[in-house]
Structure 1
Amino acid sequence: MSTVTGIWKQHRGGSRAAPRTWSPRDRLALTAGLAAPFLVALVLVPFRTSLSHTNAALILVVAVVAVAAFGSRTAGMVAALSAAAWYDFFLTRPYETFDITASADIETAVLLLAVGLIVSQLAARARRLQLLTVTDAAYLARIHRTADLVQSENSADTVVDHVRGELTDLLGLRACRFEYGTLMGRPPRLENDGSVTAGRRTWNPDTDGWPEGETELRAYGNGHYLGRFMLTPGPGPVPSLQARLVAVTLADQTGAVLDTAGPVRG
């Protein structure tokens, strides 16, 4: 229960983000943020004498929203800046310069930039919340699958094998094995709060990465140590704090079934 509460607190409070890595989608969105407003403004050039500047600005805002919805907040901000610049260059007098002589045009350009930045923030936030919901549903599905297996399966080995697979996929591990009732050596340990301790040092995987070698994740039943998963990190990014808290929950479920299964293998 404490782990589930930790996941909920993480939803509410957030955590310090890991260093940003740019995916192909992010790079494409940034390119679109630069290019889309330019292309839209270019299309509007033949109509710039008949189209009101307000309508032209609204059309460019649509382009900004599209980029922000597809990509990231950064891409939306780039699109807003690009929209304001190309609105000035193509659609205000004197044309094809970055000078604006009419005060009304200056106000429209400033409003375009401000509105573009605001809607890009909103669109990116909506996309992030949608992704978070999908991710949370996947996490909960793992917990529910394991809970169902714990209730229906008499074999502790079957549950252990299932959780090994879940942990490998959840944390992007290269390997995962389980040691029954053994405490040898002092490898780094994944703690209940999602941090990692290595000796006397506490690691924050979000900023420090995983320690080298295997990291243990212990399974307890009624407060008694019953075994541990040995996690070998994969080459991908460090799993999020939410994922690590779910991993702790899965280990707790394993400990519960080991506790009811009787003596463990030694």
Structure 2
Amino acid sequence: MTGYPLRDRLALMAGLVGPFLVALVLVPFRTDLSHTNAALILVVAVVAIAALGSRAAGALGALSAAAWFDFFLTRPYQTFGINASEDIETAVLLLAVGLIVSQLAARARRLEVITVTEAAYLTRVHDTAELARSARSGDTVVDHVRHELTELLGLRACRFEYGTLMGRPPRLEQDGSVALGRRRRDVDIDGWPEGEIELRTYGNGHYLGRFMLTPGPGPVPPLQARLVAVTLADQTGAALDTAGPMRDR
């Protein structure tokens, strides 16, 4: 489990232990509680585990729920065996429903994360656009975008170079890919290239400068984040073209 984030490790542990504890709590009531209702209670536990964790945690919870339902709540008790055919059907349905709802709950959690993330991206673009319209100097926008790029891409450092191009460092392209000379690097698989990466800014079709990005030690940000970075650079170019840098005044 050491390769999983802490939250997912805790969810996997909950998937293993949670249904056991729920089934154990139900033991004093097993003669009065119908097996269908007991199975539904265990399904609720599986849904909670999947919503807090991952598909793997939900699937483990479903398997654990079916096993402990059999062990504690069906005759003969305290054995992994079932005599009544209807109890076998209930256990199988518990496993199947638990697996299905765990997938749905984990997917809902993933979609929620994507929605929140996209909202954060839109906020960055919107705030930069507002600043670009109101700023008296393009330098103000440059400083703002340097900060935004550092957070967005998890950079160790970010600086801006005005004017002429020097050297041929790797380049973050408009489609979010990274160019190394004439070839493209699959950063999602191979990671960032060594050294600084340039992100060029243009205003009215003219090259105005570039952000020099020094990647941090973390994973490469997703394509969405890289596309937002390109958009922020475009907004910087538009601001520089309209207002110009303060140093030129």
Q: TM-score range by the shorter chain?
A: over 0.9
* 1:1-266 paired onto structure 2 within 5 Å: 22-262=4-244
- The size of the alignment, in residue pairs, is 246
Which deviations, in whole Å up to 9, do the C-alpha atoms of 1:16-67 show, x marking residues without a partner? xxxxx62111111111111100110111122222211111100100100111
Q: Is the 8 Å Cα contact of residues 143 and 246 (structure 1) preserved in structure 2?
A: yes
Q: Is the 8 Å Cα contact of residues 19 and 64 (structure 2) preserved in structure 1?
A: yes
Q: What does residue 5 of structure 1 align with? A: none
TM-score when scaled to structure 2?
0.93
Change (3 A) 1:265 1:199: farther
Change (3 A) 1:228 1:242: same
Structure 2: gaps of 5 or more residues: none
User: Aligned-pair distance for 1:68?
Assistant: 1.0
Partners of 1:225 and 1:97 lie apart in 2 by 75
Segments ≥4 residues shifted beyond 6 Å:
263-266
SS in structure 2 of the partner of residue 174 of structure 1:
strand
Partners of 1:204 and 1:218 lie apart in 2 by 19
Q: Is the 8 Å Cα contact of residues 181 and 264 (structure 1) preserved in structure 2?
A: no
User: Aligned-pair distance for 1:92?
Assistant: 1.5
User: Aligned-pair distance for 1:256?
Assistant: 0.8
Q: Is the 8 Å Cα contact of residues 139 and 245 (structure 2) preserved in structure 1?
A: no
Which deviations, in whole Å up to 9, do the C-alpha atoms of 1:88-144 show, x marking residues without a partner? 121122222222222111111111011111111111122222222211111111111
TM-score when scaled to structure 1?
0.88
User: Aligned-pair distance for 1:160?
Assistant: 0.4
Give the RMSD, CA atoms, in angstroms. 1.7
